[in-house]
Every structure is written in C-alpha cells, then in structure tokens.
Amino acid sequence: MLTIDLAYVGRGIHEELVAHVADQEGYFEDEGVHVAIRDGIAWPAERLRRGAVIGLGRTLLSRMSDGIGWTVLSVSTDRPLFWFLGNAEVNSMTDLRGRRLAVHAPDSPPGAFARIVLRKHGLDPDHDLHCVVRHPGDYQMDLRRLRDGSIDAAYVGSTLSPEQVADEEGFHVLAWVGDHFQIPTVGVAVDPAHTPLDSPALQGVVRANQRALRTLAEQPGRAVDYVAWFLDRLTREEAHRYYDRYVRPYFVPDRRIDPGAGQRAIDAVAHELGVAAIAAADFYHQCVSRAPAP
C-alpha cells in the first residue's frame, strides 16, 4: 500500500472536514493509500514540505516568504471560515473602533485575512482598534475573556459555531470573512521537490478528497452528521443550518480557480504582508480555469 503524510495546520471544520470524511468513509483506503493525518500546526515549513498539506493559506505565505515551490492540486473552498464576534456592547464592525479585538498574528494567514476585512470596513488595524494577538487554540479562552470583559471582540474560527455562541451568550456575529474576502484556503498542496505532482499516493489523496467533497454535496444528511460530530454543542437543526450556510454552497468538488480572482486575492495578501506577490497560475497549478484551446 502507498503511504503519505497529510498535515492540517489549523483546527476546525475549515481545515479538517474534507480529510476527515475521506478517512472515515474509507476513500483513502479505496485508493490504496495509507494516509497519516498529522497535526502540523506548530511544524516549520521544512518539516511540512515532506508531505502534503491541507492549509493553502499557510503554503501560500510560505511560498512568498520562504521561496518553497508549494503547488496546489485541489481546492475545497475559497471562503475562509473565520468570524468577528462582538460582546453585548459591540453590535457591528463599526463598533470595533477603539475596542480590544483578540485576533491571530498579522503575519499568519487568518491574521492577514482579518486585517484585509477590517480595512474593507474602514478600520485601520494598527490605529483604529487595539489588536490583542493570541494563539487561537479552540477559542474557548476568547469566550471566557468576552464574558469577563477583558476583550470586546474576538476573531474566531470553525471549532465553534458563532451564531450558536452569540445566541447563548448575548454576543453578536459582526462579520463572516467569507462574505468579504475570497481566497482558496484549504485543499491539497505539496512541494514538488519532495513529492512529485504525479506521485500515485498524492493523486490518490486528491481523488479521495474530491470524493469526500461529492459526499458533502450529494448526501446532506451524512454531511450534517459530520458537522454535528465536529460541533457537538449544536442541535441537529443548528448543525443543518451551519451546513446550509457555510458548507454546502462553498465546499464543492472539482473546483476551478478563476486566474484573475486568484491573483487579486494573492495580491491582497502580499500587500498586507509587505512581500512580493506570486503568480496565481503557478501556485494553483492544476486548479486554474483555462480557456479551451482554439
């Protein structure tokens, strides 16, 4: 049997869902590939590049800053599952002005996305509010700090459902990043210097992931089961609403990347980080929509 490491670099449905479905449904096994799903959150790029990586934001930043030739073979979604969550007094993005926001580091992919969305709402993240940088974990400490008033808002990911938390705690969902900024953020990427793009194990992983995406799209009941497994504080009805809002429309099989949209997203991230952009057609190598030959 072929073997390959597949690393996630963040927690929650955003990173873990598709690989989890492929694993639990036996799709990797059907491809004759033993896939070791690894926690690569704290791994440096040099260790990550020895296998395949789910986090496309992380590999994009690494390609721009480290010069590693990360290449994307499959894209699951272009809607980052991160939200701005305000306490009882913070009702809108405008209300963040002058407030304390717990957020990812500015040189991380989610942190860069947060800053791009803040700017779209007319807020300078360096001057108009106080950004409290923290290691995100599962965001439970953020909820605790929102309750005790030591922060006014938090930028949270998909280890929780923001609507359910807001309803329970009297908080407010201020914005979903996916509504304001689109960039391919999860899928399958490798460094071809370590894993050839035609590697049978890698191609098996890509096919299994595509099959998992088809399961999510074509079997809503089964998909909601998986959402409820990750977000086990949700009722079945709440899990279904989460699936309908954030998963079903955006986690789709055989996704192709519009080169113009992909380039604009890369340029925005590069500008935010102050680094040189790269060509979207090179990074999203096998996923870019191309006009048919004449």
DSSP for 205-270, please give it.
Answer: HHHHHHHHHHHHHH-HHHHHHHHHHHSTTS-HHHHHHHIIIIITTT--TT--B-HHHHHHHHHHHH
Alpha-carbon distance 155 to 191, whole Å? 30
Nearest to 55 by CA among 106, 3, 103, 110: 110
Indicate the average pLDDT of the chain: 95
Whether residue 291 has pLDDT greater than 50: no
Domains and CATH numbers, the chain: 2-79+183-284 (3.40.190.10), 83-179 (3.40.190.10)
pLDDT of 280 reads 94
Whether residue 135 has pLDDT greater than 90: no
Q: How many helices (H) and strands (E) does the chain have?
A: 13, 10
Record the pTM. 0.95
In a 3-state reduction of DSSP, which class is residue 86?
strand
Whether residue 292 has pLDDT greater than 60: no
DSSP state of 293: P
Q: What is the mean pLDDT of residues 104-126?
A: 97
Alpha-carbon distance 87 to 230, whole Å? 24
10 Å CB burial of residue 276 (0-12, 13-18, 19+) is: exposed
